[in-house]
Chains A and B, each alone.
Chain A
């Protein structure tokens, strides 16, 4: 079975531009979460979606938005890019997204975003 797939693998943008990152969850998983991992730091939670509804949001500005589609894939959008947005963006999927379930999240390989 395919794991969590993210595209693109690498992306280079300039300040002020907009970017869309994509994530396809493991088949059957209905929850998708997004994380930002700046070099040398741990992942920071951005969003969680379950059944196309936003279930959780981290402490990120409104420039960051996301959505989940009927097939449970997801997009993360970032507007007005800043140098500080340079990071590895990770997507994770799980059956329900509930931590109390005995189903762990599975992470993708991430998208490396570089802002020039």
Chain B
């Protein structure tokens, strides 16, 4: 079974700075998809970014980018120029079904 591990329960960052959230996973599959979701206190889960395992190029979406290391089974999320609205729980997910325990990110003014 695939497992997803987020080893940082909580993180904080100053506004306008950069922060990286870590995620590792375990699978025997060669083709799969990885996701980062954001869940603000209002609780609706929102897709941040998605990576297809067969693609070498790391996905980017505006201020959000990933560092996908397939051999190491690592999928970290980098948030650049952090904004107060980025404060939320962030979940890493494998194939949109298996989620990590989450990282609570707080952006400080």
Chain A residues in contact with chain B, CB under 8 A? 33, 35, 40-45, 48, 56, 58, 88, 90, 92, 99-100, 104-105, 107-110
Contact = CB atoms under 8 A, between A and B. Distances in A.
A56 B96 CA distance: 12
B71 interface: no
Interface stretch (B14-22, B42-50, B72-80): B42-50
A58 to B, nearest CB: 8
Interface of B: 4, 6, 32-33, 35, 42-47, 50, 91, 93, 95-102
B54 to A, nearest CB: 10
Contact of A43 (B6, B42, B47, B91): B91
A55 B93 CA distance: 19
B44 A109 contact: yes
Contacts of B50: 104
With a 10 A CB-CB cut-off, give which of B47, B97, B102 has the most chain A CB atoms. Answer: B97
Contact of B96 (A58, A99, A108, A110): A99
A56 B43 contact: no
A104 B47 contact: yes
A90 B98 CA distance: 14
A99 B33 CA distance: 7
Give chain A's interface secondary structure class: loop
Give chain B's interface secondary structure class: loop
A42 B100 contact: yes
Given A99-B33, A109-B44, A42 B97 contact: no
Nearest to B92: A42
Given A104-B47, A109-B44, A45 B33 contact: no
A49 to B, nearest CB: 13
Given A100-B33, A104-B50, A42 B91 contact: yes
A43 B44 contact: no
Contacts of B96: 99, 105
A104 B51 CA distance: 12
Contacts of B102: 41-42
Nearest to B4: A42
Contacts of B42: 109
